[in-house]
Structure 1
Amino acid sequence: MALFLLCPNLGWIQGQFNFTEDSLRYHECLSRIEEIERQVRAFNAQFVERLLQDSEHRVDRIIQEAGSLLAQIKARDTYLTYVMLSEYEETVSEQLQICDQILTWSDIFPDAFVRKAEAARLRVMEIQRYIREFNDHFVERRLREYDYLFRKAPFPLDHNQRCAVIIDDKHNLIVAGAGSGKTEVLITRIAYLLDRKPDTIHPDRILALAYQNKAASEMRYRLYERFGAEVKIKTFHALGKEIVEKAYLDANRAVPRLQFSGDNPEHGYRWFIATLYVKGLESEDFQRLVTRYMEYYDDAEVLQNEVDFEERKDFYEYMRGLTYTALNGVVVKSEAERSILNFLLTHAINGEEISVEYETPAEWMQYVNENGGISIPKPDFYLPQYQLYIEHWAVDENGRVPDWFEGEDPSAAYQKGMTLKKERFASQDEYGLVETCHWELRNTPVEEVLSKKLLQALHDRNPGTSFEITPLPYPNIYDKVWKECRDSIDSLRGQIADFITIAKTYNLTPDEIEQRLQDEPWSSRQLAFARVALKIYKDYEQYLRSNDFIDFSDMINLAVRALHDNDGLYRDTFDHILVDEYQDISAQRYKLIKVLMDKNPACKLFCVGDDWQSIMGFAGSNVDYFVRFSDYFAHPQRTDLTVNYRSCASIVKTGAAIICHNGDVQLKKETVAFDQSETVAVWVIAVREQNAYRYYRQVAHHCVDYIESLLNDGYLPGEIMVLSRILNRPLLRDEILRYARSKGVPISTETQKFNSVPFMSVHRSKGLQARVVIILSVDEGLYGFPCELQNPDIYDPAVNGRRKDREEEERRLFYVAVTRGKETVVLYTQESSMSKFIKEISEHVQMVKLRP
């Protein structure tokens, strides 16, 4: 656009030149200036004319384009996605900027045109407002038009549920609560896509994904029974199988055989891993790997270093607080002491197991201390068979002790005690002494140091006698292991199966995990477990490859690879992908969804789930994909399902109180109960008995008697549910079933058995409900809540990125257990070891103390 010129200033020119009015030059200059003024006015007149013409053209174009844009939106009559809204918003914003620029010249334009430009600007603003409000009006209109769909469920869908069905952005996340009808929303969404006009979706263009065959079958049944509709509804594994078969057949290659199929492939897989584990135990090398894991079973997850603390004193306090548990359950003061004790427990002298006592008072060493009292030293280890003591001195080459020892001069005090003990040993001949030092074990294995010193002491005390130290057979070592560790070893084969599943979920091969073990920092327990699991993982992979087999996890990985490698495979196949239980999504499943979405840029995603119920970490799920959904799928539209139609208000509030302790790990959302009954619905039965067997017996009898009373009051067996964090607990499980049989109360661990009260694990209960839910052993400890038997930190080497949500997932599992209840939830706990989860919800429960 040309510049608008200003006229010359005659007074200014006269001031620059001291011309008189009658001077010749003055008249010449004045004439020239007048000529320039005429030219400028002519130029400006032309400029204004051209500017007006251009502005009129632009205003006309804005009016035309705005009207065309409005007509386009109305003609499409479909939900505006984030991308579409952004494009429209950008268009109208540019139009408004043009209008504003034109109106800056309003003082030189004719009034009629200014009014036209102002009207155009107002029209664009109206269209902008129309666009911004379009989705809200669209949803409200569609809610009215498709009301008949929302009334086909057993209970008509509420407003949030209906909005979730209608809202149709590129990426849609439906954040559901327990009992909020998320599956109903999903199948109604499918029916809506098939029925809506004019943006109808063909059934072949819709893909729905579920996690289990049972869930997929239920979705198919409901969709057909309610709406007479059929679309492709598959499990992730079934879809992976379909993709792999098509990819191989298209390439004229033999389709890989699936190793575990049938109705329960998971059972077949776990059984096979168990057989590999049992076979592995025939090898002494593998036995040593398992024994090493036993030795580190009770260790902290990852030991901290001094750099992890702001102040040195805090690090010293941390080091003083560490404890180390030996194979027999004895807690010792240092890692070196544990290594010594474990060596003695796992070896024999001349074929005889070594009897060892830890810190047994040696009365023969008593002395009068500085205060005039009697002190009785406690040497580290005593071998009564050989009258030998073993003392491990925590000193370096210079006789100094670690800085975290207490006292102003810990080295001097420690040296004094060492000297005193050595003098007492030197003053008698009945007992021998074997000494080891901290500095000796820094770079030399304890087996090497202790074997040499122990054999020398035995020879010195028994001249002419030959001694040999040999490892004990694995069964002998297993029998010595403390109960909780032994129980964990009994479940090791299942944990190895989980480890392999997780590794394949993250597409990590055994070699890649091996490299991670070398390159990254791990705790002793993590390393020990990974060595055991890797041995079985390698054997398993070797078996699959040598027999041209693949398993279910391979299917998904192969499917993702095939889709990446073959651009035409499933190109432009699906317009809508719907995923149930999205909170349990794993890395490989996310990749499968993502690559399918990329095959059709117009494809839309609809994910339904409840991050508060994300409990499948042991199978490789990662709640991060749900909580940080927008990091993986840009600009999603979130809709919350807030009403719990299953549980009464008391249970709903208790559930929310459970999850709030997970902090930022979970999404913030409102949960309200359809049933607003405020009566106490969550009861805690606190048992005072501390003896484990009697505690279980008392719980079993009280639980069965309570169930009997419910049945006598008219409850049906299927309206009651008994849950346990770990179902495989013989003491409690068998006592409940035995006592129930003796009283004729129908309780069964066989979930398919009808007319019986189901007794199952909490994991199995997900998706189920009952009027009364009974939850056993909400205690601290190995089998409690949170459960210490299944510790997910051992799976970290198989995970891309460390998982730090052990307690959070256990708390989500507790939430799942509690929210199965419709009317009443009963929690059994041992008063002396009550779970922290119960303490966290103390304001929402009624405590009943059960005496022996």
Structure 2
Amino acid sequence: MQAADHLESGRYVSPYRLVMVDELQDASQARARLTRALVAQPGRHLLAVGDDWQSINRFAGADLSVVTGFHDQFGPGPTVHLTTTFRCHQSITDTAASFVRKNPAQVRKTVVSVHDRPIDRAAHEGVQLRTVASAAEVPRAIGDFLTQLRDAIHGGAIVADSVSVDVLGRYHQDRGLMPHAAPPEIRLAFRTIHSAKGLEADYVVIPNLSAGSYAFPSRIADDPVLALAMTGGDTYPHAEERRLFYVALTRARRGVLLISPEHNPSPFVTELIQDRLVRDVGPRPVATPRPGCRVGVLRQRSGCNGHFWGCSTFPACTYTCNTPPGPGERPSVTRSTTRRPAF
């Protein structure tokens, strides 16, 4: 703040004619003010690079509006959209982009991959979903995936001697979901999603896509003290968590494996299923999303009149039907919904 004061008052005149800022989406309002002061004199120029879809550091003061309101902050100037990715397969890019740009506050853009070819399922490309009965099954599910990649290398579906696999957790505690060992052909690493930003791997595994407090999206409230230094949040539901999920997906060059509990899936998983943006690889059937809801899924229950299907968020939602509807079908409702899910 004092540096900006010196520049704005004229007590210091910057000798630099060109100021370049990288990762603009991580800038706070204080840093934006300093940048404006550095280029306020005639003959000064600013070159800034940023991606609002990757703004994931609000807890550190980052303000999304520095990017989305760039011209309001720094004045008129040309904008060049960098819309080509040299990392991800197009199928991963399409899934990630379709998910993140639902937030109307994000800059609208279409990302095109240089790897635009049909996915090779034998090489486990694209975005896949595996459901598990409980968190205790996650290490085995990851281990099974690593074995499949090893077999694909030996069988020639993956033309390489080895591949890198990053397991990306929402929290450090997700490290406990890692398998005890990996085949020698697999270069396995665990990282949090925040620490993986800027990195990449051949394959990415996101292991804890469940609903709840220490899950994804996180429902842990920020420390109230942080609110003194933080800007007002995006009003779109789970806005920053959605961008964090986008970052996780786009660390992968070839394929992503999402692992979700069968009966308590993340609302992100439910949304991907409804939008047909993910391929189910079993071994259990994917829970059917509750019609008209992006949170709950249908579970089979028993009552005095026999079996029926109800919402997983019960008692917050009391929706029920006789049979789960297929894609595009209307459900056969036997009981009315009296309350919406508490999200």
Query: What is the TM-score of this pair, normalised by structure 2?
Result: 0.72
Aligned pairs (5 A) from 1:473-622: 557-565=1-9, 567-569=10-12, 571-598=13-40, 600-622=41-63
Larger CA deviation: 618-627 vs 636-645? 636-645
Task: Report SS of the residue matched to 1:728.
Answer: helix
Q: Following TM superposition, by how much is the alpha carbon of 1:839 offset from its aligned partner in structure 2, in angstroms? A: 2.4
| Length, aligned pairs only | 272
Query: In structure 1, what residue type is equivalent to 2:29?
Result: A
Q: Are the counterparts in 2 of residues 746 and 757 from structure 1 also a CA contact under 8 Å?
A: no
Identify the residue that residue 650 of structure 1 maps to in structure 2: 91
| Conserved? CA contact 2:135–2:261, under 8 Å | no
Q: 2:64 aligns with which of 623, 640, 644?
A: 623
Match of 1:702 among 122, 137, 141: 141
Amino acid at match of 1:563: L
CA distance in 2, matches of 1:817, 1:745: 23
Say if 2:168 is the partner of 1:723: yes
SS at match of 1:593: helix
Other-structure match for 2:330? none
Is 1:686 the counterpart of 2:131? The answer is: yes
Q: For residue 575 of structure 1, report the CA deviation from its aligned partner.
A: 1.1
**Residues 786 and 734 (structure 1), Cα distance of their counterparts in 2 relative to 1, 3 Å cut:** closer
More strand by share: 2
> Rg: which structure is higher?
1
Q: Matched residues in 2 for 1:716 and 1:589: separation?
A: 45
Ranked by relative contact order (alpha carbons within 8 Å, sequence separation 6 or more), the top structure is 2
Alignment partner of 1:770 out of 201, 216, 220:
201
Shift of 1:806: 6.2
Which residue identity does 1:595 align to in structure 2?
Answer: A
The answer to whether structure 1 residue 820 and structure 2 residue 261 are counterparts is: no
Partner SS for 2:257: strand
SS in 2 for 1:719: strand
1:37-65 CA-to-partner distances (Å, cap 9, x unmatched) read xxxxxxxxxxxxxxxxxxxxxxxxxxxxx
Separation in 1, partners of 2:265, 2:284: 15
Whole-angstrom CA distance in 1 between matches of 2:96 and 2:231: 31
Q: Look up the match of 2:263.
A: 832
Whether the 8 Å CA contact 1:793–1:806 is kept in 2: the answer is no
Answering whether residue 202 of structure 2 is matched by residue 760 of structure 1, we say no
Unmatched 5+ stretches in structure 1: 1-556, 690-694, 748-754
Give deviations 1:3-61, integer Å, cap 9, x for gaps: xxxxxxxxxxxxxxxxxxxxxxxxxxxxxxxxxxxxxxxxxxxxxxxxxxxxxxxxxxx
Cα 1:735–1:784, aligned 2, differ >3 Å: closer, same or farther?
closer
- CA distance change for structure 1 residues 634 and 744 in 2, over 3 Å: closer, same or farther? closer
Rounded Cα–Cα distance in structure 2 between residues aligned with 1:802 and 1:631: 19
3-state secondary structure, aligned to 2:37: helix
Shift of 1:790: 5.0
How far did 1:804 drift? 3.7
- What pairs with 1:112-127 in structure 2 (closer than 5 Å)? none
The answer for the alignment partner of 2:114 in structure 1 is 674
1:583 and 1:702 mapped to 2: Cα distance?
35
Identity of aligned residues (%): 31
Please tell me whether the aligned partners of residues 657 and 840 of structure 1 are also in contact (alpha carbons under 8 angstroms): no
| Cα pair distance change 1:848/1:617, threshold 3 Å | same
**Alpha-carbon deviation of 1:559?**
2.5
Q: CA deviation at 1:627?
A: 0.4
Shift of 1:718: 6.2
3-state SS in 2 of match to 1:561: helix
| CA distance in structure 1 between the aligned counterparts of 2:268 and 2:223, rounded to whole angstroms | 19
> SS where residue 665 of structure 1 aligns?
coil
Q: Is the contact between residue 721 and residue 759 of structure 1 (CA under 8 Å) also seen in structure 2? A: yes
Q: In the TM superposition, what are the counterparts of 1:187-226 in structure 2 within 5 Å?
A: none
Report the secondary structure of 1:822's partner residue. Answer: strand
SS of residue paired to 1:669: coil
User: What SS is found at the alignment partner of 1:661?
Assistant: coil
How far apart are residue 583 of structure 1 and its match?
1.2
Q: CA deviation at 1:584?
A: 1.3
State the Cα distance separating 1:761 from its structure 2 match.
0.4
Change beyond 3 A, Cα 1:585–1:832: same
CA offsets 1:618-663 (integer angstroms, 9 cap, x no match):
110011110011111111211111111111111111011111221x
In 2, distance between residues paired with 1:559 and 1:647? Answer: 40
- Identify unmatched segments of 5+ residues in structure 2: 120-124, 155-159, 286-343
Aligned equivalent of 1:789 = 220
Is the partner of 1:638 in helix, strand or coil?
A: coil
SS in 2 for 1:635: coil
Instruction: Assess, with a 3 A threshold, how the Cα gap between structure 1 residues 717 and 726 changes in structure 2: closer, same or farther.
Output: farther
Deviations 1:264-292 (A, max 9, x none): xxxxxxxxxxxxxxxxxxxxxxxxxxxxx
